[in-house]
Amino acid sequence: MNRLWIENGTFVTMDDSRPVLKGHMVVEGDRIVYLGEEPPSPAPEGAERLNGQGLVFMPGLINTHAHSAMSLLRGYSDDEALQVWLEQKMWPMEAKFTDDDVRWGTSLAVAEMLKSGTTTFVDMYDRMHIVAEVVEQSGIRGVLTRGVIGLCPPDVQTEKLIEAKQFAKDWNGQAGGRITTMMSPHAPYTCPPDYIERIVEAAHELDVPLHTHMSESLAEVEQNVKDYGRRPVEHLDKLGFFSKPALLAHAVHLNDEEIALLAERGAAISHNPASNLKLASGVARVPQLLKAGVTVSLGTDSAASNNNLDLFDEIRLAALIHKGVSGDPTAVPASEALKLGTVYGARALGKHSLLGVLKPGMKADFIAIDAEQPHFYPQTEMVSHLVYSGSGRDVKHVWIDGRQVVSSGECLLIDEAKVKAEAQSCFERLLAR
Amino acid sequence: MNRLWIENGTFVTMDDSRPVLKGHMVVEGDRIVYLGEEPPSPAPEGAERLNGQGLVFMPGLINTHAHSAMSLLRGYSDDEALQVWLEQKMWPMEAKFTDDDVRWGTSLAVAEMLKSGTTTFVDMYDRMHIVAEVVEQSGIRGVLTRGVIGLCPPDVQTEKLIEAKQFAKDWNGQAGGRITTMMSPHAPYTCPPDYIERIVEAAHELDVPLHTHMSESLAEVEQNVKDYGRRPVEHLDKLGFFSKPALLAHAVHLNDEEIALLAERGAAISHNPASNLKLASGVARVPQLLKAGVTVSLGTDSAASNNNLDLFDEIRLAALIHKGVSGDPTAVPASEALKLGTVYGARALGKHSLLGVLKPGMKADFIAIDAEQPHFYPQTEMVSHLVYSGSGRDVKHVWIDGRQVVSSGECLLIDEAKVKAEAQSCFERLLAR
């Protein structure tokens, strides 16, 4: 069994009982087995030793909303309204996607995520078996789901549902447990109510969580009220969506009653600040959601609406924008912002007993930050420094399930040169097609 | 004379007539002498040759508002209201600053700025001769000004004014022209009107521009109305502030009349989005300012309220927040956001005939970005990629006045290890004092 002993490191644990600790951590197999100020005693036999001097170790970041294959469309359409961007730019290009496009787009995204410290990501897309293969090979942890759009004839709906169920069944627990699955109607505005109910039923059948886009734009909320006589949260509630653990991406436009209902139902939010700003969807009511006890996590959304997958950017945005927009400088303090990207992410995925905190018994999903840089000096408040000054480019090493997947900024299990070249070719072929 | 020939590079020029160009650039002495798709003909004799493959070259970034020495206080006080942060945390610590603190705090800031691609910065602080020495040695370009607070007895006011004038006079044009100076009342709320008038008079005497903080918080605008019967823009106008080129930091709370008056007077703004969000000051009306024809540039403010000095962060924030807050996804498009950090910065400092654009005749202040990274793929829209995916950590090389000051991410004229160690000691001594 592989053993790793990190000596003389600084550990930002996300464990409230000892948030920052200078000392030692020991990993055995896929687990953290020791974390403390004193060296482990007895010393772990045959352990690889790593000098942690100048490094800050923290839990791997958790990105709870992505469409990885869309990294191929980074920069393809900027500075447009959500519906124009989606319906006139994204969907026509995505309709041309082949297996290869999904493979190399996803690989590009996973390389970017790993190098910037994300160890777990949620991916909602199609051709998900290809995404799963990329996850398997790259060493990342993935919560994968075939997002289905129900704006199609009943037989096509059924076909998509069968495919989504089959994927969720086949891949749940694969890659040594690194892959788990969910069921996902794309959104209330793209799925008729009875179709959502069938997807919920499938989630029960397979015992997996549910994921969807919800209340991203004001127009979509107004349309929901017009079509179904109620706002999206109540609409989904009536369709049984919250009868399983549910993760809602965006949730920008919520009223007080909806926030209370989400808290009551135990639903979790994937807050996507960069995407919501870029598409001018608005600013989610994160301080109110947190106050109500709703679990708020962070997502990048796709690189086509962000346009990067560096979760440190989302963490900093979450710490900054809610202060500026609410006028309350104490809103989403640094320590809370860092939780959004780690421990709350784990909670949003029902994985908080395994991920999001550095402590014995947890999975060894963690990252090492090069703290020997001017923007981390004076070396005092590391949580503040990580949130307000940190970047994915500061990530030096990454481990997932105790296995090192990034070393000195290089992916160990991904051929990055090939991924970049293939992604470039795919995009050029898409343009020409 | 030193000659540099960059071959096969991608150039984001900020020149509207040819925004992105693949080809060659030649530098002679402190100037760009050639930029074109074809190799220079005849080939420049004795030139150092640099293979630009995989690199994106662009003008060095221009940070139009900083208090560099305050980098010592990075992370010292977060998530507090402006007045608490300023009056209870910053001012008491700054009152303890010695020459050494200013020297090492400024050196830390300059190292961070150079490494993240800033080639020109505006610094408003005191003990400015020390800041000037750091600028001289480090190779950065600085527009320096002794900010004076007039909440003191008349003789102290006079003493400060004399010191500020002497500094502005002694250092203007020094360091081979890399240093220029300004005169700066700290803010309308910290300087009595007659004191501002004396500072304006000094700016005329020395023929230098004026800089001040203005309308950062709503409270300060309301206080101005209460004390002087008018809002800050009109107040400054009456005091003659706009009779010289003027740079106004923050300018968050402006009404339509103030925006029109600023446009008429040709005053420039230093927009500081991260600082304004973090201190919950609000969101400046940048789309309206740009529409009115006001020159808007970008500043980081100090690392105590940001908490980093990476201007790419400000560029991205400027591109994102004004969309999200206004609801208009076309607000501050990527190309405009990049201008805020380059060509408009140069204009705000009256240096647009020398800086902010890559073209023959301009100063050779430019940076090279490592574009061979997943977050810059597919390599299509480089302006979009720089704005929405770029970071100061992507900067590989930096040249100022034709001299290379950063090579492969390392400062050539600053002993970074010493700067970090000294900054750490200074902060620890400040805490203990």
Domain shared by A142 and A217, yes or no:
yes
Q: Which residues of A touch B393 (CB under 8 A)?
A: 391, 393-394
Nearest CA in chain A to B389: A308
In angstroms, what CA-CA distances link A348 with A121, A326, B403?
12, 25, 51
Residues in chain A where the model's pLDDT stays below 50: none
Do B72 and A378 make contact, defined as CB atoms within 8 angstroms?
Answer: yes
Give the pLDDT confidence score for residue A82 in this predicted structure: 76
pLDDT at res. B280: 95
Closest residue in chain A to residue B429, using alpha carbons only: A378
Q: What pLDDT, on the 0 to 100 scale, is given for residue A84?
A: 86
Interface probe, candidates A320, A332, A339, A369, chain B, greatest B C-beta count within 10 A: A320
User: In chain A, count of helices (H) and strands (E)?
Assistant: 16, 18
Q: How far apart are CA B413 and CA B399, in angstroms?
A: 12
Complex ipTM value: 0.97
CATH of the domain at B380: 2.30.40.10
Look at residue B432 and tell me if it is in a domain: no
Same domain for B30 and B116, yes or no, is no
Residues of A in contact with B278 (CB under 8 A): 319-320, 323-324, 329, 388
Is residue A417 a part of any domain in this protein?
A: no
Separation of CA B348 from chain center: 10
Q: Among residues B348, B373, B400, which one ends one of the domains? A: B348
pLDDT given at position B84: 86
Q: Do A264 and A167 sit in the same domain of this protein?
A: yes
Beta strand segments in B31-108, E: 31-36, 48-51, 55-59, 61-66
Which residues are within 8 A (CB) of A288 and not within 5 positions of it... i.e. 6 or more apart? A256, A259
Tell me how many domains chain B contains.
2
Q: In this complex, do A75 and B327 lie within 8 Å of one another by their Cβ atoms?
A: no
- Closest CB from A75, A79, A115 relative to B385: A75
In this predicted model, what pLDDT tens digit does every residue of A363-410 receive, in sequence order? Answer: 999 999 999 999 999 999 999 999 999 999 999 999 999 999 999 999
Is residue B306 domain-shared with residue B389, that is, in the same domain? no
CA distance A251 to A258: 10
Q: Domain check: are B68 and B129 in the same one?
A: yes
Q: Could you tell me if A70 and A49 lie in one domain?
A: no
Longest dimension (CA), chain B: 67
Is B263 a domain residue? Answer: yes
Query: Are B375 and A424 a contacting pair at CB < 8 A?
Result: no
Residue A141's DSSP bridge partners are A120
**Least Cα separation, residue A42 to chain B (angstroms):** 35
DSSP B410-432: EESSS-HHHHHHHHHHHHHHHHH
B378–A330 CB contact, under 8 Å: no
Are B173 and B268 within one domain? yes
Q: Which residues of A are annotated as a binding site for substrate?
A: 94, 146, 186, 216, 301
The C-alpha atoms of residue B371 and residue B363 are separated, in whole angstroms, by 24
The pLDDT, as a whole number, for residue B80 is 87
Q: A320 and B323 in contact by Cβ < 8 A?
A: no
Chain B residues inside the 8 Å CB shell of A328:
280
Amino acid at B380: T
> Residue A134 belongs to a domain with what CATH number?
3.20.20.140
C-alpha distance from A120 to closest chain B C-alpha (Å): 18
Same domain, A30 and A152: no
Domain assignment present for B12: yes
Residues B88 and B216 grouped into a single domain: yes
**Which residue from A80, A324, A424 is facing B283, i.e. has the nearest CB?**
A324
**pLDDT value for A1:** 78
Nearest CA of chain B to the CA of A414: how many Å?
12
Domain boundary among A308, A325, A348: A348
Residue B235: inside a domain: yes
| Residues from chain A contacting residue B394 (CB–CB below 8 Å) | 393
| Alpha helix (H) residue ranges in B213-265 | 218-228, 232-238, 256-265
For residues B267 and B332, state if they share a domain. Answer: yes
Give the type of residue at B233.
V
Please list the pLDDT of chain B residue by residue as tens digits (433 residues). 799 999 999 999 999 999 999 999 999 999 999 999 999 999 999 999 999 999 999 999 999 999 999 999 999 999 987 778 888 999 999 999 999 999 999 999 999 999 999 999 999 999 999 999 999 999 999 999 999 999 999 999 999 999 999 999 999 999 999 999 999 999 999 999 999 999 999 999 999 999 999 999 999 999 999 999 999 999 999 999 999 999 999 999 999 999 999 999 999 999 999 999 999 999 999 999 999 999 999 999 999 999 999 999 999 999 999 999 999 999 999 999 999 999 999 999 999 999 999 999 999 999 999 999 999 999 999 999 999 999 999 999 999 999 999 999 999 999 999 999 999 999 999 999 8
Q: Is the CB of A394 less than 8 angstroms away from the CB of B393?
A: yes
B213 is in an annotated binding site: yes
Do A100 and A132 fall within a single domain?
yes
Q: Tell if the CB–CB gap between B75 and A324 is shorter than 8 Å.
A: no
Q: Are the beta carbons of A78 and B388 separated by less than 8 Å?
A: yes
How high is the pLDDT of residue B86? Answer: 85
Neighbour count for residue A100 (Cβ, 10 Å): 13
Cβ pair A268, A348 in contact under 8 A: yes
Residues B75, B38, single domain; the answer is: no
Q: What type of residue is A80?
A: E
What is the rounded distance in angstroms from the CA atom of residue A89 to the CA atom of residue A325? 30
Range of the domain at A43: 3-59+358-411
